[in-house]
Structure 1
């Protein structure tokens, strides 16, 4: 079994991880370009942590400008086995009010400007993605939220829109009518790339607003989001600290095989694979491409 290394991607409002001990900043080169920021590697209690602010410190990157492939690639290169994504989101349910943390486990991808895969022409792969979230990691997050008495819900569907503008009223009402739970701008293709990289992934939607559908509250704007970001950021750090305190020393094999997702996924015959693309895939898919 591999040593467990817990990766944390911090969303809006979470640009650092106070309490991280023996911290070192690690700059990792990626063939996929520049990641959002340097990695901060350290320990919380007994657990090795690697932290990456998704938008960069100072929030320099919009959702469409994030290099999701480079982010996942560098996390894989430093040994991350389990990855928790913290994201600010809007809610389509009255009971999922600002301040609630939602462990969404399904996604609707409505993005269109982003590179959605490490694979492509010259090396084709199709990973199973019917269940995007690693259940054991989600279960541990739920236990940590319960222990910290943070209002939360387990399960749900999150829509990922391109942004950076917020929803129109018509879009918000449509998404709500579908019975979906959350909307954000960063879960995709992040979750899909983590699956391709064989990293167990779980999503924490930190509710800041009701998108545009709520007649009494009114449409979301930055002021409304920022109002709730600070309290959510503090709860997010508490969640991570509790999760790390009880995290296993060895990576738990994923029951849905998210950590072995490439086992039978690469379909391009070895003699037809593009050597340049294969070289870029050394960290993500080296385990299977070397055979």
Structure 2
């Protein structure tokens, strides 16, 4: 089986050095259109697919990002490993703007999004106790270090609904919970990737200290954009380094990400809604 790397990120990653045969592809899914076309090509001998999470020109808010369509589209393209790159605020003094964090846990505080491919007509329960892939996270960590970034291994991401930034009271509450970073887009993205049996790693690019910090009590979008611009080169170097670290040949995930649906589907075969199961052809075809 071949490795196919999927990158979900922002505009700073459109221009990936060394990407050969780059083509924007339209992918149709049963869950509607993804955020945008998907840029595919070859990088270091490995197929890569890049999906602009908010669409080119930033047309989707964190709430309206079509998360199910995005993950389904990547699965249909044969993606095996998904690396999410996103801007985040920090709850830790030592996690400074410009640093990267390889996230390994989430607290999901979103409430206005469809969070599963499954439901009435075909019920499934998938474990997200460990929502990211350790193997893929290790590769992203090593790639970030090689890119010259100050990078931290492990952290809890508080996913908020947005699109507004936190109040001071909210920021202090989330910090008291032991969260490390805050963002608006990794949920339900990580949950859906697990349901689709895709290895998933999250790279949080710190842009600010949210609003808890005594010397930084408001989140200023101009500062965020300036920091993001500075991070873009490093993020592109990280992505360019991944093919060598993951290799062209894909082996079974030692952490079971690619078999997450084993024993997960609860609805008896004769009770499954054919219309629902038809929508699951890419996501759950292996077990359906």
**What is the TM-score with the length of structure 2 in the denominator?**
0.97
Residue 215 of structure 2 aligns with which residue? 216
The residue that corresponds to 1:150 in the other structure is 149
- Matched-pair contact (CA < 8 Å) for 1:17–1:51: no
Tell me the C-alpha RMSD between the 2 structures.
1.1
1:4 maps to which residue? 3
- Counterpart of 2:257 in structure 1 is 258
Q: Deviations over 1:71-130 (max 9, x none)?
A: 000000010000000010000001100110000100000000000000000000001110
Counterpart of 1:95 in structure 2 is 94
**What is the rounded CA distance, in whole Å, between the counterparts of 1:218 and 1:212 in structure 2?**
4
CA distance in 2, matches of 1:203, 1:16: 20
Consecutive unaligned residues in structure 2, runs of 5 or more = none
- C-alpha distance in 2, partners of 1:152/1:64? 28
In the superposition, the TM-score normalised over structure 1's length comes to: 0.96
Give distance in 2, aligned partners of 1:93 and 1:12: 27
Residue 269, structure 1, aligned to residue 268, structure 2: yes
The Cα shift of 1:141 comes to 1.0
Runs of 4+ in 1 over 3 A off after TM superposition: 11-19
User: 5+ residue gaps in structure 1?
Assistant: none
SS of 1:64 mapped into structure 2: coil
CA contact (8 A) 1:98 1:209 kept: yes
Provide the residue aligned with 1:29 in structure 2: 28
Change (3 A) 1:172 1:12: farther
Q: How many residues align?
A: 288
Question: Does the CA contact (< 8 Å) of 1:15 and 1:56 recur in 2?
Answer: no
> Matches of 2:81 and 2:161 in 1, distance apart?
26
Confirm or deny: 8 A CA contact 2:210 2:216 kept in the other structure.
Answer: no
Q: What is the rounded CA distance, in whole Å, between the counterparts of 2:130 and 2:89 in structure 1?
A: 22
- 2:61 corresponds in structure 1 to 62
SS in structure 1 opposite 2:98?
coil
Structure 2 counterpart of 1:123: 122
